[in-house]
Amino acid sequence: MPGQSKTAAIAPPASEIAILGAGAVGQLICHQLHSAGLAVGLIARESFASNIEATHWQDLVFSPLLLNNTNTESVSYRVPKLDIESKSAQQIKLLIVCVKAYQVLDAISPLLDKLSPQCHILLLHNGMGPHLTLAPRLNGRGLSLGTTSQGVLRQSCWQVKQTGQGLTQFGHFTGPELPQALRERLLHAIPNSEWVEAIIPSLWQKLAVNAAINPLTALHQCPNGTLAQAQFSKTIATILDELVEVAAHDGVELDRQRLEERVYRVIELTAANFSSMHQDVAHHRPTEIDQINGYIGDRANAHGLSAATNAQMVQSIKQLSAIPPVQ
């Protein structure tokens, strides 16, 4: 219009790695990759709230974990917003999917015909299940899976704070494997990360922790540490008994005693924390119960087994989630 001027935005360089889902974990991984000098960009619903032609970048803030009186000043940085409709989408070699488990299929499906046929997919979320549904739809693409116990808190839309260290594991699931050079850059960028040859057992172990802790903290509206009380021990033991039996029928042998030790170790180390499911229920958001205890129940049904306690967790969380917020 006459009398108005518009400064042309400078388009960012192409990104080799894209992160789908800019929640707490997505922003944490984004910062770690960016800090390592990798060409990373974001695909997020928030990224396209404004005119994509007017702004090609996203400004973010990361607050590091306090360790031994180290510098804890927040870091401001920017990464490209990725327009999947552009030709640059064809240059993405690795798509890291960090949305909630129940969002995976809806989030990734519109991208599959826009990404390069060689683009590798990496799922990084709580729970299990989406990998089985997604794999047949990838048209020959490679699929890897991951799990992380890094702690991170989303303080505002584009600001996160790291709240805990933890192990991050990745591993191949199906299709062409992630190229070795890209794998090495990923592991170099993310502290305390490793590539494991058998990722499914690692996911079952993480599932056990989530299945034992998340629903109980949500139902009893308590921090993780409360579950160390004797009143919860029988329920936790039964959840784990059912999980170990189901996993064995899926071909995954788990050490029952070590699994329980791991659960109680997490309860101890995160005693003051509130689980993600507790927070989801408290804020009247959808939960990942179907991909945690629900997945155990689904696999039990597939093998003609009973997982009654896990099924009860699913039913109880859904009943709790259905209660409308107080006006």
Res. 21: pLDDT tops 50: yes
Q: How open is the CA angle 167-118-139, to the nearest 5 degrees?
A: 100
Instruction: Provide the mean pLDDT of the chain.
Output: 91
Average pLDDT over residues 138-145: 96
Instruction: Give the model's pLDDT for residue 132.
Output: 96
Res. 9: pLDDT tops 70: no
Q: Are 199 and 144 in contact (CB under 8 A)?
A: yes
Res. 213: pLDDT tops 70: yes
> Please, which pLDDT band fits residue 64 given cuts at 50, 70 and 90?
very high
- Does 201-321 match 17-196 at the fold level? no
Instruction: Give the model's pLDDT for residue 227.
Output: 98
Average pLDDT over residues 91-108: 96
Alpha carbons 171 and 146: distance in angstroms, whole number: 6
> Please, which pLDDT band fits residue 142 given cuts at 50, 70 and 90?
very high
Clarify whether 206 is annotated catalytic.
yes
Instruction: Give the model's pLDDT for residue 196.
Output: 97
Q: Which one of 93, 100, 161, 206 is the catalytic residue? A: 206
Residue 17: which of 128, 103, 144 has the closest Cα? 144
Residue 198: which of 274, 237, 251 has the closest Cα? 251
CA atoms within 13 A on the CB side of 259: 28
Q: Where are the domains of the chain?
A: 17-196, 201-321
Instruction: Give the model's pLDDT for residue 102.
Output: 96
Residue 144: which of 99, 102, 203 has the closest Cα? 203
Instruction: Give the model's pLDDT for residue 54.
Output: 44
Average pLDDT over residues 151-160: 93
Range scoring the smallest mean pLDDT among 26-35, 58-67, 113-122, 308-317: 58-67
Q: Are 215 and 294 in contact (CB under 8 A)?
A: no
Res. 71: pLDDT tops 90: no
CATH code linked to domain 201-321: 1.10.1040.10
Instruction: Give the model's pLDDT for residue 65.
Output: 87
Instruction: Give the model's pLDDT for residue 2.
Output: 42
Res. 6: pLDDT tops 60: no
Alpha carbons 241 and 307: distance in angstroms, whole number: 9
- Higher pLDDT residue, 153 or 190? 190
Q: Are 104 and 134 in contact (CB under 8 A)?
A: yes
Instruction: Give the model's pLDDT for residue 4.
Output: 40
Res. 40: pLDDT tops 90: yes
By the 10 Å C-beta count (0-12 exposed, 13-18 middle, 19+ buried), 201 is classed as middle
Res. 68: pLDDT tops 80: no
CATH code linked to domain 17-196: 3.40.50.720
Range scoring the smallest mean pLDDT among 47-51, 173-177, 224-228, 249-253: 47-51
